[in-house]
């Protein structure tokens, strides 16, 4: 979730840049260079302020010497943090792809630059973790985030993925994370994986014939979610994580539903498209359970 904290800050600032279509005319070289510099300056400002915030609130000055993670990252969240880094890489690359297209960069080049940006952000996050008393530099996290950076490339090469979306949600169903860690309860924590869920939303209309595709609303999607089971999770025994929970729920593609035209509407929907809208949800594992609204 540390990834997502930085990504959402970066995404919100990058989405303030209007997105041009691939068929739009390219700006003059002077304007193009200025916009590329604007993307870089916005990125540095956002990442710098985000790290300053984490320095005060996360590590709180309790740094150690540089070290690598020795395997704890594979157990304390049962790998759900790797999904978080993957989704974070998707969000970063998506934001940067839109920003570079606005700057006038050709689509193929913008995709490679977006991938590079995702890898750069992930390495930066891990360099921060490398001096943490609890964590360490993890090549597994860097790999997961970098894989997410391929998202713009995949979307432009797959009809199925063109309108697919990765999303995240946080709903504090239990304070167990805070209680077992012996820290004051908070409304939100970037490391509280017990209350985080990660979703992949796609259009079911693509799985049928032409008549089915014409009948299925293009804005209505299905989502598959992944979280952690609170009952089996504990940090008291070397942080052995917990069992994975799996969910199925309907979802809405906000861009296709509202078809925004104004820059303000695009900005708002560009941010909320990464957040799973509460909806009736069926938990299919490890237990069967129905939620009228799962947040």
Q: Which of 150, 184, 205 is the last residue of a domain?
A: 150
**Domain shared by 236 and 277, yes or no:** yes
**Domain shared by 84 and 214, yes or no:** no
* Residue owning tokens 């799996």: 246
pLDDT band at 11 (very low <50, low <70, confident <90, very high): very low
Percent of the chain with pLDDT over 70: 82
**Domain shared by 11 and 132, yes or no:** yes
Q: Rg (Cα) of the chain, in Å, rounded? A: 20
pLDDT one-digit tens code per residue, 100-121: 888 889 999 999 999 999 999 9
pLDDT over threshold 70, residue 56: no
**Domain shared by 292 and 171, yes or no:** yes
pLDDT band at 211 (very low <50, low <70, confident <90, very high): confident
pLDDT band at 24 (very low <50, low <70, confident <90, very high): very low
The rounded distance, in Å, linking the Cα atoms of 71 and 135 is 10
**Domain shared by 39 and 177, yes or no:** no
**Domain shared by 263 and 140, yes or no:** no
Q: 233 near 81, Cβ under 8 Å? A: no
The rounded distance, in Å, linking the Cα atoms of 187 and 95 is 27
pLDDT band at 48 (very low <50, low <70, confident <90, very high): confident
**Domain shared by 185 and 248, yes or no:** yes
pLDDT one-digit tens code per residue, 109-160: 999 999 999 999 999 888 888 888 778 899 999 999 999 999 999 999 998 9
pLDDT band at 74 (very low <50, low <70, confident <90, very high): confident
The rounded distance, in Å, linking the Cα atoms of 295 and 292 is 10
Residues linked to residue 246 through DSSP beta bridges, in sequence order: 226, 285
Tokens linked to 84: 């978080």
**Domain shared by 69 and 190, yes or no:** no
Q: Which of 91, 122, 150 is the last residue of a domain?
A: 150
Least confident range from 9-13, 101-105, 264-268: namely 9-13
**Domain shared by 124 and 244, yes or no:** no
Residues in the chain, total: 295
Q: Which of 150, 171, 189 is the last residue of a domain?
A: 150
pTM: 0.85
Measuring CA to CA, which residue among 228, 225, 167 is closest to residue 192? Answer: 228
- Give the pLDDT mean for 2-11: 49
Give the domain range for residue 237.
158-295
**Domain shared by 6 and 139, yes or no:** yes
Tokens linked to 101: 């297209």
**Domain shared by 205 and 275, yes or no:** yes
**Domain shared by 137 and 12, yes or no:** yes
Indicate the number of domains in the chain: 2
The rounded distance, in Å, linking the Cα atoms of 150 and 169 is 22
């Amino acid at each position: 979730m540390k990834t997502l904290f930085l990504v959402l800050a970066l995404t919100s600032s990058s989405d303030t840049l209007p997105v041009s279509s691939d068929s739009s005319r390219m700006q003059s070289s002077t304007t193009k260079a200025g916009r590329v510099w604007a993307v870089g300056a916005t990125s540095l400002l956002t990442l710098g302020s985000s790290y300053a915030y984490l320095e005060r609130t996360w590590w709180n000055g309790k740094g150690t010497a540089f070290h690598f993670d020795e395997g704890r990252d594979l157990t304390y969240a049962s790998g759900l943090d790797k999904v978080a880094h993957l989704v974070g890489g998707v969000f970063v690359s998506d934001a940067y792809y839109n920003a570079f297209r606005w700057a006038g960069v050709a689509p193929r080049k913008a995709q490679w630059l977006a991938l590079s940006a995702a890898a750069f952000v992930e390495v930066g996050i891990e360099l921060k973790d490398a001096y943490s008393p609890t964590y360490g530099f993890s090549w597994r996290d860097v790999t997961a985030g970098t894989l997410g950076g391929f998202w713009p490339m995949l979307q432009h090469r797959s009809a199925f993925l063109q309108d697919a979306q990765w999303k995240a949600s946080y709903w504090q169903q239990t304070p167990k994370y805070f209680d077992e860690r012996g820290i004051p309860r908070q409304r939100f924590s970037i490391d509280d994986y017990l209350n985080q869920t990660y979703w992949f939303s796609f259009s079911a209309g693509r799985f049928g014939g032409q008549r089915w595709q014409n009948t299925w609303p293009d804005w209505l999607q299905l989502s598959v979610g992944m979280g952690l089971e609170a009952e089996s999770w504990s940090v008291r025994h070397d942080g052995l994580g917990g069992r994975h929970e799996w969910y199925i729920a309907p979802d809405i593609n906000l861009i296709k539903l509202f078809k925004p035209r104004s820059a303000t509407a695009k900005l708002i929907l560009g941010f909320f498209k990464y957040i799973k809208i509460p909806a009736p949800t069926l938990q299919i594992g490890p237990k069967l359970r129905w939620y009228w609204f799962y947040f």
